[in-house]
Amino acid sequence: MQFDEEEVRRRLDYDSLIPAMEEALAAFSNGEVAQPVRTVVPVREHGGFFGVMPAYWRALGAKLVTFYPGNAARGVETHLATILLFEPETGRLIATLDGRLITEMRTAAVSAAATKALARPDAHVLALLGSGVQARSHLDAISTVRRIDDARVWSPRNARRFEGARACATAEEAVRGADIVVTVTSSTTPVLRGEWLSPGAHVNAVGACRPDWRELDDETMRRSRLFVDSREAAAREAGDVILSKATPVAEIGDVFAGRARRESPTEITLFKSLGLAVEDVTAARLVLERAPHPPR
Q: Calculate mean pLDDT across residues 113-137.
A: 96
Residue 287: pLDDT band (50, 70, 90) is very high
Q: Kindly list the structural domains of the chain, giving each domain's residue range(s) and its CATH number in brackets, ordered by start.
A: 2-102+277-289 (3.30.1780.10), 113-272 (3.40.50.720)
What's the pLDDT at 73?
81
Q: Is 252 in contact with 185 (CB distance < 8 Å)?
A: no
Report the C-alpha gap between 122 and 29 in whole angstroms. Answer: 28
Comparing CA positions, the residue from 12, 11, 8 lying closest to residue 21 is 12
Strand order, beta sheet including 268-272: 166-167, 150-154, 125-129, 180-183, 202-205, 268-272, 224-228, 250-251
What's the pLDDT at 252?
98
pLDDT tens column, 126-154: 999 999 889 999 999 999 999 999 999 99
Average confidence score pLDDT of the chain:
94
| Residues found in the chain | 296
Helix (H, G, I), strand (E, B) or coil at 62: strand
Report the C-alpha gap between 243 and 227 in whole angstroms. Answer: 16
- Regarding beta strands 268-272 and 150-154, do their DSSP bridges make them parallel or antiparallel, or are they unpaired? unpaired
What's the pLDDT at 59?
97
Q: Which residues pair with 273 in a beta bridge?
A: none
Whether 96 has a pLDDT exceeding 90, the answer reads: yes
Whether 176 has a pLDDT exceeding 60, the answer reads: yes
Indicate the pTM of the whole model: 0.93
Report the C-alpha gap between 192 and 206 in whole angstroms. Answer: 12
Residue 266: pLDDT band (50, 70, 90) is very high
DSSP 265: T
pLDDT tens column, 224-261: 999 999 999 999 999 999 999 999 999 999 999 999 99
